[in-house]
Structure 1
Amino acid sequence: MSPGAGPAAAMSGVRDALVVAGFELRSALRTRKALLLLLLYVAGAVAADAGFVHILQAFERTAADTLSVAATDTPGAMTGRLMASPQVLDMVGELVGDRALATQLLAIPPLALFYGWVALSFVPVLVALTSSDAIAADVESGAARYALVRTGRGAWAAGKLLGQALLMVVGLGAGAVATFIIGLGWTRGFDPVANLVWLARMCGRASLVGYAWLGVVLGLSQLTRHTNRARLLGVMSLVALGGGRAFLSHASVIRDRAAAVADSLLPLFIGSHVIDLWQPDWRLRLPAMVMLVALGTAAFVAGHRFFCRRDA
Structure 2
Amino acid sequence: MIGSTTRLAPRSAALPYFSRPATSGTLGLGVATSSTFLRDAWLIAGFDLRESIRTRRALVLALLYLLVASITSYVYVEVVRLAQQATSEVIGGMADTGDKVAAAAAAGAAQSAGYTGLLYVIAGGDPQIAGHLATYPPMVLVFAWFSLGALPWLIALTSYDLVAGDLHLRTVRFVALRTSRGAFVLGKLLSQVLLVALIAGLGMIPVLAIGGAYLPRFDVLDTFLALLRAWPILALFAFAVLGPVACASQLVRGPGAARALAIVFLFALWVLGIWAVFAPDPLSLLRWLTPFAYKTQFFHPDLLHRLMNAAGCAALCAGYSWIGFQVFRRRDL
Q: TM-score, normalised by structure 1?
A: 0.86
User: What are the residue-to-residue correspondences of 1:136-147 with 2, within 5 Å?
Assistant: 136-147=164-175
Query: Hey, what does 1:167 align to over in structure 2?
Result: 195
Structure 2: gaps spanning 5 or more residues: 1-29, 95-104
CA distance in 2, matches of 1:7, 1:180: 48
Match of 1:156 in 2: 184
Amino acid at match of 1:197: L
**Deviations 1:95-152, CA, capped at 9 Å, x for gaps:** 4313453343233112111111111111111111110112101110122111212211
Which of residues 56, 59, 72 in structure 2 aligns to 1:32? 56
Say which of 65, 75, 90 aligns to 1:41.
65
- Percent identity over the alignment is 31
| Counterpart check, 1:112 vs 2:133 | no
Secondary structure at 2:33's aligned position in 1? helix
Q: 1:83 to 1:309 in 2, by over 3 A?
A: farther
Tell me the distance in 2 between the aligned counterparts of 1:156 and 1:50.
Answer: 41
With over 3 angstroms needed to count, the CA separation of the structure-2 counterparts of 1:159 and 1:61, relative to structure 1, is same
Q: 1:114 to 1:7 in 2, by over 3 A?
A: same
For structure 1, the 5+ residue unaligned runs are 1-5, 71-77
Distance 1:94 1:20 in 2: 42
Letter in 1 for 2:83: F
Deviation at 1:32, TM superposition (A): 0.7
Q: TM-score, normalised by structure 2?
A: 0.81
In the TM superposition, what is the alpha-carbon distance from 1:90 to its structure 2 partner? 3.0
**How many residues in Structure 1 have an aligned counterpart in Structure 2?**
291
What whole-Å deviation, never above 9, does each CA across 1:141-179 have from its counterpart, x for those lacking one?
122111212211111111111111111111111112222
The aligned counterpart of 1:22 is: 46
Residues 164 and 250 in structure 2, CA contact (< 8 A), matched pair in contact too: yes
- The residue identity in structure 2 corresponding to 1:85 is S
- Answering whether residue 246 of structure 2 is matched by residue 218 of structure 1, we say yes
Q: Aligned partner of 2:114: which letter?
A: Q
SS in 2 for 1:150: coil
Contact 1:134 1:218 in 2 (8 A): yes
1:1-312 to 2 correspondences below 5 Å: 9-68=33-92, 85-96=112-123, 97-250=125-278, 255=279, 259-312=280-333
Residue 283 of structure 1 and its aligned partner are, at CA, apart by: 2.6
Q: C-alpha displacement at 1:82, in angstroms?
A: 7.0
The equivalent of 1:74 in structure 2 is none
In our comparison, the structure showing a higher alpha carbon Rg is: 2
Going by fraction, where is helix more abundant, 1 or 2? 1
